[in-house]
Amino acid sequence: MSMQLMLSPYRLAKARDLYNTFNVFNSLSWQFLIGNIITIFAMRLHASSTYLGLISALLYVAFFFLPLGKVLTSRFSIIKIFSFAWSGRAICMITLFFAPLLATAGQRDLALGMTVLGVLLFHVIRGIGMIGNNPVLSLMASGPDRGSYMTQIQIINSAVGMFASFAIALVLGGDPPLYLYSVIVAVGIVCGILSGVLMGKIPEPSVDTDGKKIKFFDVFKQALAQPNLRQFIVILFIVALVSGVSRAFIVVYSREVFMQSDGMVSLYTVFGGLGNLMIGMFIKFLVDRTGAKPIFILCVLMGLVSMVPIIFFPQSIDNIITIILFLSFLFFMLNFGFLGAEGIAQTYFLALVPSDLMLDMGIVYFFVFGIAGTGGSFLAGLFLDIMTGLGFDIIIAFRVLYLVLIVLTVLVVFFQRKLTPLGALPFRGALEVIFSFRDLKAIALLDKLNKTNDSQEEEALLGALHDTPSQLATTGLLNRANSPRLATRLESLRAMESLESLTEDAEKALINDIINNPFTTAYISARILGNHGVFAAIPLLRELAASHDYMLAGEAMIALAKLGDEAFRPQIEEIVLQTDNPRLKIMGVEAFGIYRSPNSISVLLDILRGADPPPYLRDEVVLAMASILDTQNQFYPILVHYLEDNSLAPTLAADEVDAACEFYNSTLGANKKNQRKTGFVLISRQAKALPKAVGDYMQNRKGALLSRWILELPGKFCHSVVQMVFAEAVLDDELCSHPRLQLLIAHWTAHELRQWTQKLKEKE
């Protein structure tokens, strides 16, 4: 039976603190015992490229002892195995402690043998303990921040490794005495033992306890039988091979081609650590937002780019500054690209494999890694020796080696395109995020939002997300929309409203909100659904248009108008006429303006006929009519002037008419030939009659002349419904008591004269 251990937030935080400390000592131990210091020491003893390749290959021997670690899990806990192995591997390096002393005594071959023995024992014991690596890491990285936390571990290791590399560079200097290597190894052994002790205090992760045993080769068959996993294994194999060879032999390259000292090579490894640190920070910032796949591809591309200069950079350059800058760039970029690829590959793997198969598939993962690394490193060293043995210059040998690695990396990029996305953005979408200031700022705000416990800061961050709309914020906003705090939910929805589009999850969440949260946030969700064109919400919005929550009912009507639900417009008209709620009437009137149906003008006039409608309702009514007439942009400034001084109504109307008549005269009236044309006689008469008709209507509230003027408009230039309704409205004594409406009708008649003039001009 498989049991998943779930740590409480407090226990998980404590366990992570302990695990972070473990990684500090573990990284120090690694750098002082197994890092590039081994290669530097071996080259100091004039080891061949084959020997150096063997040393690099031993790094991957550990992966072949994972099955032995799994066998031990039947008798011991994973943490106990992990802990003892980590302390034990450090103790095994005592042989390396004595190697520099033997070399000082003239026993160079014996010193190299002791070095190989120590490294071999280190990795054998390490391989047994690594059976707990994936289960422990999976436990520590449980939760929504899985990718981010895994990358945080990489950042810790990189930062500590960079510090250790710098310390080694200072200690070794240019041509250090060999006993200093023993001092460094002694410090590494102590740090390694401490890391094992700390691991023993980590909570036990979940393991498969059903007693079912799977044979080693059956595990591989099970992995290869799954297309997605099989494809990943092929990619992992090539990435591990290229990464291992390219990073290991760049140390040899700097020594053999450019004759760099031990101290300088150690200094270059600091830049390598900086590259690892930078890619870790980069991945941590993005991985939970973009997904692992596009970052995996990007890291491999960075590694590919970093190897190209090796093919073309000449050996004959004498400028030491140029050489230092070039090698610093290589160490930085190779680690930036390929260590980033290795790290994100593990993140992708943990998301790809079900938790109940983690232990078995973890063995497959590391075995593939081991085979690629061991074979690649050994063969690369052998290849260099063969090339130089045949008389080729060392720089030619390195160029051919890295050219092969470049070809393999191109194949990886080709295969990566077909990886299962696992919810990740497409590669192009991820690049858009990386180069988008808005998206990057939104990610930074979301990270702050996830860390804050202050309600006021939470609201401020949500407000900032509203001002920085990004689709990447959707999940975080949906989480905050379920907050127990109303102010937080309101700010979350407001920020969501500013997004360009909604995901399917967001649409479902908003629909649930308008059902479950009336009188609080439902009206905002209804507005968002309308603004974003969610047609699936129409049936529900129809029901809610009659809700007791008048804000929700109003937003539902507006949303239906924005969604173009013309069939429901008559019901909205009925609701607006029956309600006594001024706010609901205003929202219904706004909906009519959005529908832009001339048939709604009669309903809007009926609202004005009601018992003393409030001023803001009158304003909304005439503005809605202006929208229906398609003149709101022109009429709005006129209405504003009127509201500033109510006595200006006749003057404003006269100005509109005078401007329209001047437009007619300058466009058609000045041409006497037009006056004899049949089609122009009517407009000429109408243009002359309009000032008196509007003046009589505005000043004396007598609409007979204006009504006749409206009825004489040609049907092809004016909507018949609008024509009939306004012709009757100017004769209605009750409606004549509304200066806003009078001003709108006067503006409309002037607008019609302009339109009529323009169309006749176009026909000339």
Q: Taking residues 37-52, what's their average pLDDT?
A: 81
Spatial separation of the C-alpha atoms in residues 743 and 721, rounded to whole Å: 19
Percent of the chain whose pLDDT exceeds 70: 94
pLDDT band at 154 (very low <50, low <70, confident <90, very high): confident
Amino acid of residue 655: D
| pLDDT tops 60 at residue 752 | yes
Q: Taking residues 430-452, what's their average pLDDT?
A: 80
Question: How many beta carbons lie within 10 A of that of residue 13, not counting itself?
Answer: 11
Higher pLDDT, 641 or 225: 641
Query: For 93-102, what is each residue's pLDDT tens digit?
Result: 999 899 888 8
Could you say which architecture CATH assigns to the domain 453-646? Alpha Horseshoe (1.25)
**Among the listed ranges 32-36, 216-220, 236-240, 311-315, which one has the minimum average pLDDT value?**
216-220
Spatial separation of the C-alpha atoms in residues 57 and 55, rounded to whole Å: 5
pLDDT band at 217 (very low <50, low <70, confident <90, very high): low
pLDDT band at 147 (very low <50, low <70, confident <90, very high): low
Q: How confident is the model at residue 670, as a pLDDT?
A: 60
> Quick one: residue 391, left, alpha or beta (phi over 0 = left, psi -120 to 50 = alpha)?
left
Query: For 160-176, what is each residue's pLDDT tens digit?
Result: 877 887 888 778 766 77
| Cβ-based neighbours of 18, under 8 Å, separated by 6 or more | 198, 201, 202
Query: For 721-736, what is each residue's pLDDT tens digit?
Result: 999 999 999 999 888 8
Q: How confident is the model at residue 762, as a pLDDT?
A: 77
Residue 3 and residue 134 in contact, taking contact as beta carbons nearer than 8 Å: no
- Cα dihedral 358, 361, 363, 366 sign: negative
| Cβ-based neighbours of 607, under 8 Å, separated by 6 or more | 576, 577, 585, 589, 613, 617, 621
Q: How confident is the model at residue 6, as a pLDDT?
A: 62
Spatial separation of the C-alpha atoms in residues 728 and 734, rounded to whole Å: 12
Q: How confident is the model at residue 658, as a pLDDT?
A: 93
- For 380-400, what is the HEC assignment? HHHHHHHHHHCCCCHHHHHHH
Q: Taking residues 78-93, what's their average pLDDT?
A: 91
Query: For 254-281, what is each residue's pLDDT tens digit?
Result: 888 888 877 787 788 888 878 877 887 7
Amino acid of residue 307: M
| pLDDT tops 90 at residue 495 | no
33, containing H or E segment: helix 9-33
Both tokens assigned to 516:
């479950």
Question: How many beta carbons lie within 10 A of that of residue 191, not counting itself?
Answer: 22
Q: How confident is the model at residue 15, as a pLDDT?
A: 86
| pLDDT tops 80 at residue 561 | yes
Residue with tokens 């994100």: 344
pLDDT band at 565 (very low <50, low <70, confident <90, very high): very high
| pLDDT tops 70 at residue 211 | no
| CA distances, 276 to each of 4, 137, 268, 288, 431 (Å) | 32, 19, 13, 19, 20
Q: Taking residues 531-546, what's their average pLDDT?
A: 94
Residue with tokens 């490894």: 269
Residue with tokens 């085979």: 371
**Among the listed ranges 36-40, 657-661, 734-738, which one has the minimum average pLDDT value?**
36-40
Q: How confident is the model at residue 669, as a pLDDT?
A: 64
Q: How confident is the model at residue 676, as a pLDDT?
A: 56
Q: Taking residues 296-314, what's their average pLDDT?
A: 91
Q: How confident is the model at residue 3, as a pLDDT?
A: 41
Q: For the chain, which residues make up each domain, given as ranges?
A: 20-203+215-431, 453-646, 648-763
Q: How confident is the model at residue 2, as a pLDDT?
A: 40
CATH of domain 20-203+215-431: 1.20.1250.20
Higher pLDDT, 560 or 41: 560
Spatial separation of the C-alpha atoms in residues 255 and 647, rounded to whole Å: 93
pTM for this prediction = 0.66
Q: How confident is the model at residue 358, as a pLDDT?
A: 67
Largest CA distance in the chain: 123
| pLDDT tops 70 at residue 359 | no
Spatial separation of the C-alpha atoms in residues 58 and 62, rounded to whole Å: 8
- Using DSSP's 3-state secondary structure scheme, residue 208 falls into strand
| pLDDT tops 80 at residue 667 | yes
